[in-house]
Amino acid sequence: MDFIGQKRDGKPHFPAPIREERRKWWDRLKEGAHFVESLNKPRKDKSQEQLGAIWGLMMAGACIQLDDMGYDTSFLFNTNKPTGVRIGKEDLCRFFYSACPIWDEHGKQITLRKANTVQAAKFFADARNWTASQWGIYIPEPDPEWREKAKENVSLE
Name residue 8's beta-bridge partners: 11
Within 10 angstroms of residue 148's Cβ, the number of other Cβ atoms is 10
Each residue of 30-62: pLDDT tens digit?
A: 999 888 877 766 666 666 677 776 777 788 889
Residue 18's nearest CA partner among 32, 4, 6, 31 is 4
On whether the CB atoms of residues 109 and 102 are closer than 8 A, the answer is: yes
* pTM to 2 decimal places: 0.61
Each residue of 85-98: pLDDT tens digit?
A: 999 989 999 999 99
How far CA 113 is from CA of 16, 50, 74, 86, 108, in Å, comes to: 32, 12, 27, 24, 14
- Measured distance CA(15)–CA(82) in Å, rounded: 60
